Amino acid sequence: MDVRLTIDGHEAKAPKDMSLLDVVRRVGGEIPALCHHEGIAPIAACRLCLVEVRRPGRGEAVLTTSCDYPVSEGLEVVTASPRIRRHRAMNLQLLLPYAPDAPALHEIAESLGVTAPLFAPVTGAPLPGCILCELCVRVCAALGYHALAAIGRGDHKRVGPPFGRSVATACVGCGACHEVCPTGCIAMEDTATTRRIWGRELELFTCRRCGKPFTTVAHRTVMVARGDIPAESCDLCETCRSRDYARRLAPVR
Amino acid sequence: MSADRERGVTARELRRIAAVLARYPQGDAGSLVNALHDVQAEFRYLPEAALCEVADHLGLPRAQVYGVASFYQGFHLEPRGEHTCTVCMGTACHVRGAARLLETIERDAGVGAGGTTPDLKLTVEEVNCVGACAIGPLVIVDGEYHGHMTADRVSRLVAKLLGEGASR
Ligand code: SF4
Ligand code: SF4
Ligand code: FES
Ligand code: FES
């Protein structure tokens, strides 16, 4: 069911309960966000996606995170105001010391006019650069690997392999966590034949046609078993696979 | 799975875990915290194998169960002593010499706060104010409050806790 809402004075329509952040982005609005992924349940960790919302019949507009705010009928949304900016800026200043070198944070800092973090860069973190957005943990779980955990609480909180290990034994090396990490702090190194990630060293799988490695053997095995790759082209990299499809389509004109 | 099950657990321990888990329907993810409490009551801590069994029984990913267990202060992931000696380090106890008490215990037991003696007799812990400031400095032994503690008395207490097995 669709609901109607206004975003910065403009009317919009969206499926009920869809994440407000996704709705705003869909209509071209811009909201800074570091811990959100459209396909994954939100945890509202970074606190940057603040907006003001007013529900019909309520007086005050309240400040809230938009990623975990389900849209409803008659919602009035403001995505930019001095108050929003002030709070986003403060939250960003709190994140900056954990990832002082991350371009994504600097980009947001610039847009908010933030020039300095609130305190000195954090040193000696178990995973330097990590802002604990938990995207890596959630993406890995959503893909069904569950190789990572959010561990501990408060200032001991960290992400990494569960059970106190230094190696993520369930990791297949798909690289999704590395891909989604907003600060780029998850190291993934490919040599000619192997991929290193989370303490694992996994053999790479090379495309049978062009010889380019396109994922790890372990990841491909899972994809084939799950039927994520059609059996007839499971030995080909994405480029060669697309070429195959195109060739098959060619006669249809 | 079987490799995990061999990780430092005996068949008997596995049976104890299974007995606890039999109280919960399979796949009942909502029982996670209760199940962890029950397993901990059995072992005084949560061995890795137990966490794996709980996860498998309730149909939850093991990494997630580990995450939950590591979140709560009440859950222990390392073996715990038969006895627990907790020193209050809150402000009121602190100004009455709690640090000295802790030092004494740590020296007598040979482990630091948060640690457990190798013979699994005693775990030493700190806490920040348990609301009994009037009788501070306070040491809690196996849940029993001992107020107006002195270094001498705590030393004797610890000796008793450590010696119990030997004299039996
Ligand atoms: S690379 Fe490993 S840890 Fe990262 S998402 Fe893939 S399986 Fe999970
Ligand atoms: S490693 Fe990256 S993705 Fe994972 S919690 Fe930290 S910042 Fe987020
Ligand atoms: S994107 Fe909403 S809190 Fe991070
Ligand atoms: S400070 Fe020790 S009980 Fe309050």
From residue A19, alpha-carbon distances to A15, A68, A135, A140, A182 in Å are: 9, 6, 16, 21, 20
Residue A153 to residue B72: CA distance in whole angstroms: 8
Residue A175 to residue A241: CA distance in whole angstroms: 20
Q: Is A67 in the pocket of ligand 3 (CB under 6 A)?
A: yes
pLDDT of A116 reads 86
Of all atoms in ligand 3, which is nearest to the CA of residue A68?
2
pLDDT of B7 reads 60
pLDDT of B8 reads 67
pLDDT of B10 reads 87
Domains of chain A: 2-112 (3.10.20.740), 135-249 (no CATH)
Of B61, B72, B73, the CB nearest to A141: B61
Mutate to test the pocket of ligand 2, among A35, A95, A98, A127 (most ligand atoms within 8 A of CB): A127
What value of ipTM does the predicted structure carry? Answer: 0.86
Judged by CB atoms closer than 8 Å, whether chains meet at A163 and B66 is answered as yes
- Pick from A182, A146, A179: which is nearest to A162 by CA? A146
pLDDT of A232 reads 75
Residue A136 to residue A160: CA distance in whole angstroms: 9
- Pick from A28, A27, A25: which is nearest to A36 by CA? A25
Within a 10 A sphere around the Cβ of A165, how many other Cβ atoms?
12
User: Average model confidence (pLDDT) for chain B?
Assistant: 92
- In chain B, what are the domain boundaries? 3-71, 83-161
pLDDT of B164 reads 60
Classify domain B3-71 at the CATH class level. Answer: mainly alpha
Average pLDDT over residues B7-31: 92
From residue B116, alpha-carbon distances to A151, A186, A243 in Å are: 22, 34, 62
Mutate to test the pocket of ligand 2, among A36, A48, A159, A177 (most ligand atoms within 8 A of CB): A159
Mutate to test the pocket of ligand 2, among A34, A96, A130 (most ligand atoms within 8 A of CB): A130
For the cut 50, the answer to whether the pLDDT of residue B1 exceeds it is: no
Give Cβ neighbours of residue A138 (< 8 Å, ≥ 6 apart): A37, A40, A41, A43
Residue B114 to residue B17: CA distance in whole angstroms: 26
Residue of B nearest to A148 (CA): B63
Range in A31-45, B53-67, B150-164 the model is least confident about: B150-164
Residue B168 confidence class, pLDDT cut points 50, 70, 90: very low
For the cut 80, the answer to whether the pLDDT of residue B53 exceeds it is: yes
CB pairs under 8 A between A and B: 36
- CATH of B83-161, picked from 3.40.50.1100, 3.40.30.10, 3.55.10.10, 3.20.20.70, is 3.40.30.10
Ligand 1 centroid–CA A162 distance in Å is 13
Helix (H, G, I), strand (E, B) or coil at A109: helix
Cα Rg, chain A, nearest whole Å: 22
Q: Along the 253 residues of chain A, how does pLDDT read in single tens digits?
A: 899 999 999 999 999 999 999 999 999 999 999 999 999 999 999 999 999 999 998 889 999 999 999 999 999 999 999 999 999 999 999 999 999 999 999 999 999 999 988 899 999 999 999 999 999 999 999 999 999 999 999 989 999 999 999 999 999 999 999 999 999 999 999 999 999 999 999 999 999 999 999 899 999 999 999 988 877 778 888 899 888 888 877 665 4
- Pick from B89, B96, B93: which is nearest to B128 by CA? B89
pTM score of the predicted model: 0.88
Judged by CB atoms closer than 8 Å, whether chains meet at B61 and A146 is answered as yes
Judged by CB atoms closer than 8 Å, whether chains meet at B67 and A149 is answered as yes
Ligand 2 centroid–CA A40 distance in Å is 14
Within a 10 A sphere around the Cβ of A9, how many other Cβ atoms?
8
- Give the DSSP H/E element, type plus range, for residue B91: helix B91-95
- Cα angle B65, B70, B71 (rounded to 5 degrees) comes to 100
Judged by CB atoms closer than 8 Å, whether chains meet at A151 and B73 is answered as no
Average pLDDT over residues B36-56: 96
What tokens were used for A235?
Answer: 């030995």
**Min Cα–Cα distance to chain A from B18, Å:** 21
Residues of chain A in contact with residue B51, where contact means CB-CB under 8 angstroms, are: 163
Mutate to test the interface with B, among A146, A153, A159 (most CBs of B within 10 A): A146
Whether the Cβ atoms of residue A158 and residue A132 lie closer than 8 Å to each other: yes
- Minimal-distance CA residue to ligand 2 atom 4: A136
